[in-house]
Structure 1
Amino acid sequence: MPDSLNHIFSEPANLATAWSAFFTNELYRCGLRHAVISPGSRSTPLTLAMAAHPHIQTHVVLDERSAGFMALGIGKASGRPAALICTSGTAVANYYPAVVEARMSGVPLLVLSADRPPALRQVGANQAIRQQGIFGSYTVFEHDAGEPVARTEDFRRLEILAGQAWNSSIHHGGPAQVNFPFRKPLEPTAAFRDYLPGHYTESLEARTEPLTRSAPVQWRPPAAVFQTIARSRRPVIIAGTLPAHCLLPEILDMLSDEGIPLLCEAGASSGRQTGEAYITGFNAFLRSASVRDRLQPDLIIQIGPGPSGKGLEHYLREYRDIPRLHFQSNVLWAEPSLGSSITVQVPANAELVRVPLTKYIPEGWLRDWQETSREYLAQRDTGLQAASVLRDGDVHAVVAASLTAPETVMISNSFPARDADLFAMPAFGRHTVFMNRGASGIDGITSTAAGLSLAGSQPVTLLTGDLAFLHDLTALLAAPALQQVSLRILVINNQGGQIFRMLPVYEPSDWYTRLFETPQHVDFAALGKGFGVQTSEVTTASQLQVALEQPRKNGIEIIICHTHPDESMHQRRDLWNAWN
């Protein structure tokens, strides 16, 4: 500990906050810019240290589950982990869903959990649970910081720990947890609290670089990859939802000008998916065995996780013994079709060395895909013009047509993730699209969108279902803190979990409706207004179009889209069945 700071230990109450401040400042040197704080007592030292930093934005979120997903959204938008701070006990357990999603979708995240000291563990002390290793295999790094000790060597080790957690989260693409046991007293003196901002400034003037940092890495695809592609005559490129800040979207972009059919779901969109090789409607027409037979590949180039649509699922399973190159980042294994593949492991944080590709692909191969795609679009447009009531697909189509300037689009799981491919592509390809497709839950959707709006530079549009919206209702508690960003939420109220109508369990009956579709009889407009959020309702496509033409304002805006569930299913089935 530098002699100039020895005076802070004349008061024992300052030690825990000083410990937290050194950790916080080293995280700032690493690149931390956002902290999401769940209020609590045991985390007081971490909270005060983070809030006092002049260059870190702090966001206070009451519900820990919502806070976790907000931090996830910040990581998605920025490519940098946000710090999550909570007290001890079940508070940290409520981060679990966001931690799972971060790990399975390759998003950096830092969990800084306050804890009781070892003397209060396993003895029945209040609000004490087993927090070390609480997230199991879903963290890429986990460590207990130990109790604060007023020695120079211990403070230096703490700064090294900050770098370890940060670099692990960035380079392995996932969540890191550091557990902080604190004894009482937890609150520093008022004089020390006032001293903290100046301490940060002085410390950063003395040293701007972190103690541990990684040298820039350049990654070049192996030569064998290009040799394999060059030998192919009927290759296809398939991409599901991709993390925005890694090499996978760049690899997709590198291959997009090569005349290879690109079957990219909406979640792969990074704002550049506009070339003639991008195919629309594949998740509809690839449901047909005859179409799959006509479009049989001799090489599948898969980028990132497996897709979510049935068409591509059938295609990958049917041709799982066709040679496959699978570009994967440092996330969990992502090959549900059990295909035979050559895995190309891509580092999570590196610079891509672009290599020209020498190949010969007959022009007719891409043309066959394009003609099938044009036929699909003609059928879709005919169906969209035949609307007598508002349907789920109409909402996606109207929203996609309304986005003229670049925007960030967040799409919920369940039917919205599939309807985006059916009804909103290729328009969504001009925008950056995010989905939580790691574990594909409906939890935390609105909170993730809020995080995207906090860390991004564009307006955010969220398409979500009624159940997903209600599941994450506490996200609206953050509305007062989101007055400087623009977040428009479109709630597709189709009266419950309509996706179960695709499953064998479906039959028109009271027990099915009660147990599976679970329609919620809620006044959505009153809910929004109760949170102080501007809320409107639409029941037709023309009403929705008018609502979307209104100038965007800062803050949260909710548009409730009341859609007809039966007609929405007919709309989808018409597209699916047109190819049989």
Structure 2
Amino acid sequence: MKWPKHDLAQFIIQLCKVKGLKHVVISPGSRNAPLTIGFTNQNFFRCYSVVDERSAGFFALGIAQQTSEPVAVVCTSGSALLNYYPAVAEAYYSGLPLVVISADRPQHLINIGDGQTIIQPHAFGKHVLFEANLKPPTKTLFNSTQFARDKAQKLINKALDTASRMMGPVHINVPFEEPLYDTVPEPLSLNISFKKDIKTAYFYLSPSFQKTWQNAKRKLVLVGVNPPNSLDSAVIDQLANDPSVIVLTETTSNLHHSNFFPFIDQLIAPLNEEGYEALQPDLLLTFGGLIISKKIKAFLRAYNPKHHWHVDPYKANDTYFCLNKHFKINPNDFFRQLFKNTPSNKSSYFDFWNRVKLQRKKAHNEYLKSMPFSDFKAFELISHAIPQNFVVQSGNSSAIRYLQLFEFHPSISLYCNRGTSGIDGSTSTAVGASIVSKEPTLLITGDLSFFYDINGLWNKYIPSNFRIIVINNSGGGIFRILPGNDNSELFETYFETKHNRNAKALATDFGFAYSSANSEQTLALTLAEFFKSSSSPKLLEIFTPSSQNDKILLSYFDQIA
């Protein structure tokens, strides 16, 4: 078995193996040859070659998203590293364990005009949880070579532990001298002691918090991005059956109960001041990742609860400017203690808003019956057509917002890059997720997002059960919904970004079976075939009328009021 001759590469590879880091996404280069040789010669690792580093970063995020385990990305020196930044930022805000391993030039070659060199240490600033800037393990006036090797091993080990325990991105920067391709039959032995797993500290919930919970007659539980099956059924039932509690969820919450409120914008958009005051909670309890709905953010910022508690083992965002308690614990453990000896409070909070929910749902269904073909109608048909047990990956902007207006079978899990909410890596993330998912994957994305991240399809790992639906409304349709639309040439050019592109040639080039639809009838027929088994992945492009989509959506909220 071949090992790279470079000590630092040997240490990185051995420690990744010891820590159980299995997935390694490698982009081509020469300076990272010691790492590439080491990882690809070990059967333990599952290695992927992805040329575009920006795409590779999101590809790795998709794997981390599905496995909840650290995933490494490996690149050469120079600007290659900077292309990881969008994925690093997404990992930081989404809480995903991304391990960036960048090859670098020796220090004496930096900033002297040598090729492929930039200042790589601290490249990601505060968007990484830990940074290991390694140095060649050489003897110095004060320390031996072995001392330098031990120090490097400790830094690598800490980086890997941080990614795993704190669930976020880390950066390991490693300089290599030439020659880069030399190998040895055996690596140097590790000289590091591994601490036993740190047991979770005992959590004690003060009776005063239980009393506050019990006394609150209006409790609003707001759930952000959440992996499926993360909350125990007993906890779900207790929240759902408490008359003083309403639970607001989003599609990315992956949390289901008939008593929950999955359509936040549908509930809130028509409210007047009296309605806002009736909804204002005494206690707001949040858990999960970031929230999509701008309407719930605006409401809670204007109508602050008396208490805002956030439950998360790692971090809490003061999204509504009223956070006064962060419980650093898993939500299941928190609720088990919260519910001890705290009977339900008498309240009409749930009953009142449940009646409103049912009224909104009735108005929603009535509007759909008369709605013309549009983005909205396309999403309605798609939501009914997705088979059970699918993993749905959504693009950002309008795609994820339309998905908030429809209900999905509990067996369908839904994901979106909501850490930074950018359009830049949706396709790459979906592809990465699809190769480790046990279930088939569907990406639903807008046209700009799809064309922006087309390199997400530039790899050989896409499974035949992968599906893409592109909503092509000839530009950034969300800008017609947002304030500022004036239908001028300037608006169409610089905001909406009008175009005449379609995905047919790209689909063919990347080996996808292509189909298209431009009406309710053709879409219904196409969807009937789209999810059937095939020997290649499929792409469905839906063309919708760009000038009508915003009017249809905005009139929807008027209709349900």
Are the counterparts in 1 of residues 217 and 347 from structure 2 also a CA contact under 8 Å? no
**What pairs with 1:330-345 in structure 2 (closer than 5 Å)?**
330-331=314-315, 334-338=317-321, 340-345=322-327
Task: State the one-letter code of the partner of 2:212.
Answer: T
Instruction: State whether structure 2 residue 481 is matched by structure 1 residue 502.
Output: yes
Task: State the one-letter code of the partner of 2:158.
Answer: Q
Match of 1:263 in 2: 248
Are the counterparts in 2 of residues 539 and 563 from structure 1 also a CA contact under 8 Å? yes
**What pairs with 1:205-220 in structure 2 (closer than 5 Å)?**
211-217=194-200, 220=203
1:172 Cα deviation (Å)? 2.1
Match of 1:418 in 2: 401
1:440 Cα deviation (Å)? 0.9
Are the counterparts in 2 of residues 477 and 531 from structure 1 also a CA contact under 8 Å? yes
CA shift in 2, pair 1:241/1:300, >3 Å: same
Task: Provide the C-alpha distance between the structure 2 equivalents of 1:252 and 1:311, rounded to a whole number of angstroms.
Answer: 27
Task: Provide the C-alpha distance between the structure 1 equivalents of 2:235 and 2:499, rounded to a whole number of angstroms.
Answer: 41
Are the counterparts in 2 of residues 460 and 488 from structure 1 also a CA contact under 8 Å? yes
Are the counterparts in 1 of residues 4 and 10 from structure 2 also a CA contact under 8 Å? no
Match of 1:183 in 2: 177
2:114 corresponds, among 125, 146, 161, to 125
Task: Provide the C-alpha distance between the structure 1 equivalents of 2:356 and 2:448, rounded to a whole number of angstroms.
Answer: 35
Aligned-residue identity in percent: 27
2:303 corresponds, among 319, 327, 351, to 319
Match of 2:12 in 1: 23
1:430 Cα deviation (Å)? 4.0
Task: Provide the C-alpha distance between the structure 2 equivalents of 1:574 and 1:115, rounded to a whole number of angstroms.
Answer: 55
CA shift in 2, pair 1:56/1:166, >3 Å: same
**What pairs with 1:373-522 in structure 2 (closer than 5 Å)?**
373-389=357-373, 391-422=374-405, 424-425=406-407, 427=408, 429-478=410-459, 480-483=460-463, 486-522=465-501
Are the counterparts in 2 of residues 537 and 561 from structure 1 also a CA contact under 8 Å? yes
- TM-score of the aligned structures, taking structure 1 as reference length: 0.86
Residues 273-293 of structure 1: CA deviation (Å, up to 9, x unaligned): 221221133212312224323
Task: Provide the C-alpha distance between the structure 2 equivalents of 1:58 and 1:175, rounded to a whole number of angstroms.
Answer: 19
Instruction: State whether structure 2 residue 55 is matched by structure 1 residue 74.
Output: no
CA shift in 2, pair 1:566/1:281, >3 Å: farther
CA shift in 2, pair 1:328/1:375, >3 Å: same
2:259 corresponds, among 258, 277, 286, to 277
Instruction: State whether structure 2 residue 211 is matched by structure 1 residue 227.
Output: yes
Secondary structure at 2:537's aligned position in 1? strand
Instruction: State whether structure 2 residue 547 is matched by structure 1 residue 563.
Output: no
Match of 2:97 in 1: 108
CA shift in 2, pair 1:187/1:451, >3 Å: same
**What pairs with 1:248-259 in structure 2 (closer than 5 Å)?**
253=236, 256-259=239-242
Structure 1 vs Structure 2 CA RMSD: 3.0
Are the counterparts in 1 of residues 390 and 440 from structure 2 also a CA contact under 8 Å? yes
Are the counterparts in 1 of residues 249 and 263 from structure 2 also a CA contact under 8 Å? no
- TM-score of the aligned structures, taking structure 2 as reference length: 0.89
Give unpaired runs (5+ residues) of structure 2: 140-144
Q: Which moved more, 1:491-500 or 1:559-568?
A: 559-568
Task: State the one-letter code of the partner of 1:434.
Answer: Y
Secondary structure at 1:418's aligned position in 2? helix
Are the counterparts in 2 of residues 284 and 576 from structure 1 also a CA contact under 8 Å? yes
Are the counterparts in 1 of residues 475 and 498 from structure 2 also a CA contact under 8 Å? yes
CA shift in 2, pair 1:226/1:316, >3 Å: same
Task: State the one-letter code of the partner of 1:354.
Answer: R
Residues 434-458 of structure 1: CA deviation (Å, up to 9, x unaligned): 1111111110110011111123222
1:249 Cα deviation (Å)? 9.2
Task: State the one-letter code of the partner of 2:257.
Answer: G
The count of aligned residue pairs is 547
Task: Provide the C-alpha distance between the structure 1 equivalents of 2:283 and 2:331, rounded to a whole number of angstroms.
Answer: 27
Task: Provide the C-alpha distance between the structure 1 equivalents of 2:228 and 2:484, rounded to a whole number of angstroms.
Answer: 39
CA shift in 2, pair 1:63/1:515, >3 Å: same
CA shift in 2, pair 1:350/1:228, >3 Å: closer
Task: Provide the C-alpha distance between the structure 2 equivalents of 1:350 and 1:218, rounded to a whole number of angstroms.
Answer: 15
Task: State the one-letter code of the partner of 2:416.
Answer: M
CA shift in 2, pair 1:15/1:239, >3 Å: same
Task: Provide the C-alpha distance between the structure 2 equivalents of 1:148 and 1:543, rounded to a whole number of angstroms.
Answer: 65
Task: State the one-letter code of the partner of 1:490.
Answer: I
Q: Which moved more, 1:541-550 or 1:379-388?
A: 541-550
CA shift in 2, pair 1:500/1:576, >3 Å: same
Task: State the one-letter code of the partner of 2:546.
Answer: P
Residues 311-335 of structure 1: CA deviation (Å, up to 9, x unaligned): 312321222243222224534x623
Are the counterparts in 2 of residues 281 and 377 from structure 1 also a CA contact under 8 Å? no
2:268 corresponds, among 260, 283, 286, to 286
Task: State the one-letter code of the partner of 2:432.
Answer: G
Secondary structure at 1:410's aligned position in 2? strand
Misfit runs of 4+, over 6 Å: 245-252, 348-353
Are the counterparts in 2 of residues 284 and 311 from structure 1 also a CA contact under 8 Å? no
Are the counterparts in 2 of residues 266 and 433 from structure 1 also a CA contact under 8 Å? yes
